[in-house]
Chains A and B, each alone.
Chain A
Amino acid sequence: MIQFAVLMGFVLAALSPMLNRWFGQRTSLVLALFPTGLAAWLALQAPEVIENGSLLLEWQWVPSLGISLTFLLDGLSLLFGLLITVMGACVLVYAGGYLKDHPDLARFHIALVAFMVSMLGLVLADGLFTLFIFWELTSITSYLLIGFNHADINARKSARQGLFVTVAGGLALMAGLVLLGIASGSWSLAEILGQEADLREHALYTPMLICLLLGAFTKSAQFPFHFWLPNAMAAPTPVSAYLHSATMVKAGIYLLARLHPELGGTAMWVGILSVVGATTMLVGAFLAIHHTNIKKLLAYSTIMALGTLTMLLGIGTEYAMTAFVTFLLAHSLYKGALFMVAGILDHETGTKDVTQMGGLRSLMPITATIALVAALSFAGVPPLLGFIGKELMLESVLGADNFRMLLVLFAFLASILTIAVAFIVALRPFYGKRHHTPLEPHEAPFSMLIGPALLALGSLLLGLIPAVLGADALLTATATVISGQTIEVALSLWYGINVALIMSIISLGLGFLLFKRWDSVRGKLSVLAPVMRHGPEAGYESIMNGIVRFSEWQTRLLQNGYMRNYILVMLITLIALIGNSILLRHSPQFAFDLDVRFHEVVVVGSMVMGALFATISRSRLGAVVSVGIMGFSIALIFILFSAPDLAITQLLVETLTVILLVLVLFRLPRFSNLSTSLERIRDGVVAAMVGILICLLIMTAWSIQQFEPISTYMIENSAPLAYGRNIVNVILVDYRALDTLGEMFVLALAAIGVIAMLKLRHGENSDSKTADSSKVAAKEPYDG
């Protein structure tokens, strides 16, 4: 049962601190066995999936409610699943070396393994809600991982930014998925993809598509939501390598690819995806060369790659699909490897600035080789897989049906910039003059080399002999799933001399030139800095600051700490709402006759007297007693109308209320008039209006009988079904037991709250030091 195995990952994550105690430094290796096992299982399923197209693995969870955890295994989810598990194993091993002796290694393992499981669940899920839950889990685990160095204010800020952007998109995604479920009448992806009805014609298509795209674009860092991804580089490098290049940021791409056969191909889809994707591609590549931080360089180039993938989905031709799957695979392999190389450089030299490094080739020959291979794939140089991906990409851009000139221009410019970035990352640190670095560099340990080496080797072998390793078959299955029609993928290094190849060669030359001139180009680009400050990130900041200001304003207005204001606001709201529905929406109609006895008048009279006295009394005790009189009069009314249970309850509650009030009275300051006479008139008017409205409400409720009262059923069935003659009690413990259970918890919470507040205030006086420090912690300003 694969579902069980995948979910066990969460248990494994929870247990990892214990594993840490047993295995110490080797925990990472032990944990890596988990993704390795899953990868092996996925690989074993591959022949069947490729043969049959898809595999539906159902696990009934709550059969009576129709809730099941179903996994859909087809070419697309298989490719993603393999990427996640293989990369996961590499990253875990790598992290063991990178974070060696880190005191919080166990916490890192928890978050990373939990992320891995969530991501795997996301790509395997068949149910829309399952997909959504795993989607949100990846956001949360990503938040924990970006903020791993929680003592650093930048890490916290970046983590929060990533969370806000992706979760805001997640909200849109939820709306989109619900619309999708309504439009298609099914909550299962396999059914939605398999059905005949065309969702493109559906009335809900436009809102649904916009919501889904918002979710996918925020997650996959498309322009203008791209700004969170470079900031997410505050995470430890293994996280950047895993989440922010190969897996999580591709979740949005995965969703788009998954829904492409049902939703793709319309003018709207093609327009939005091609233009946004191409813009993201160019913006990412352009922003990359501004930076000298190696991780930022890679992050912006990841944005460029994500934009490329979106654009290819937008183009939607058969060629574009082939390019999409090839580019996806190639990018994950080389970018993962390059990020790990960046981590090695950072780890060994103590700096992330590429201009501060140089000539490391002789000191770190293995790292240099890995970096070179990965970067050549990145730059699209034969015979690596990246070259094939890039050829196919250029080919499909040239064959695009819409916006062809724009896309070709953007793709060409982006590939020049990308090539420059690839050379900067791979050549700059290893060749040229030796620089002095904060740490004395030497070759990285084996655990940090094995992961990137495997990925780089993958780039090389899949480029040289794609058919032998089964890549063709797997990518064929994936491309078929994405397009909805059979597509035969046959990767090859040589497609003949065509426009794409010529463009490739020209861009290689220009890219190399740009790399050579990088330092002077960067100086010239710094002129743009003032313009850059007004980018989308500034928009995000001003929105967040606006929200904070608004909440401060409304908190001051509504929660100023004065009980009288709270009550006033509540009552005015009550008047507005009840008044609106009684007076404006229903014309009040009363049908009752005034048939009262003398003793009833006496009881009601004493209530009114009590209420009046409570308002004019100048002593607290007097007010409490007169409110008590009202309460006891109500109890009397209950008795008169033969409701003994209510009467007893009312009596007891009233007694205890008086006792509690008396106890509290001693703690209050002396009675004094705090309000002006104008305010008192206002309060009087509000109170009178509430009283009149409630009276009207009761009279209306009494005159209108819209439904058969439920009490008849309860009275009839109380004895035969619930074995009780006291209907009030039967309602409390049987008919409405769930309500009572909830009320018990409310009561308990209220009591605990009262006790805690009293004890806490009491504790503050005796131990003012801890109280002060907690205040400081609570007051920490919002730094977003």
Chain B
Amino acid sequence: MEQFWNITFQLLEGFKENCILFGVTLLVALPLGLLISMGSMSKILPIKAFCRTVVWIIRGTPLMLQLFVVYYIPPLLTDGSFKFSDRLSAAIIAFVINYAAYFSEIYRGGIESIPKGQYEAGYVLGMKKSQIFFKVVLLQVVKRIVAPMSNEIITLVKDTSLARVIAVGEILKNAEQFTKQGLIWPLFYTGAFFLIFCGVLTLLFRFIERRLDYYKG
């Protein structure tokens, strides 16, 4: 029993890294994604082309490969003078870029699904573009993207374990160390941590969906 609590505690140490990676990625990628989606819908062609190319590259290559690129390429380019002192920072950068690209497409889908008439109604009522966006369109977009966003955010929880490939001391890496001592169950036990985390998120998103259920359209 003591061993169980011991191992739980050590796995929690690792899961802390997963949580930091999750939290920071979410915090930065959510606004960054909005910025990229604005770029993808921009009337200025070079900006639009740039943003869409970035999204294509990021969505078109594995996140695992992107982790390698972020961690190994800068030292190679600078002849070793720049090196990540902290592996978690490298993982955060890769995750932020990757998830911002996915979020941007969800935002774009949501924003483009709002009928043109909503904007026109705002215009003929003398509203400014920014007022139309924040007072009329935004909440409707939020309502429409809660479901795809929750999907993506739950995927993010589990993707954090990929940081293991650049040796971030996250929960799976911790668990693997026990296999060297002949203990295999901690590896499977990690699933419980993810399940609980995702369960809480699911409840949270259901709450948000209910809160936005007061109107249709």
Task: Tell whether A pairs with B.
Answer: no
Q: Which residues of B contact A (CB under 8 A)?
A: none
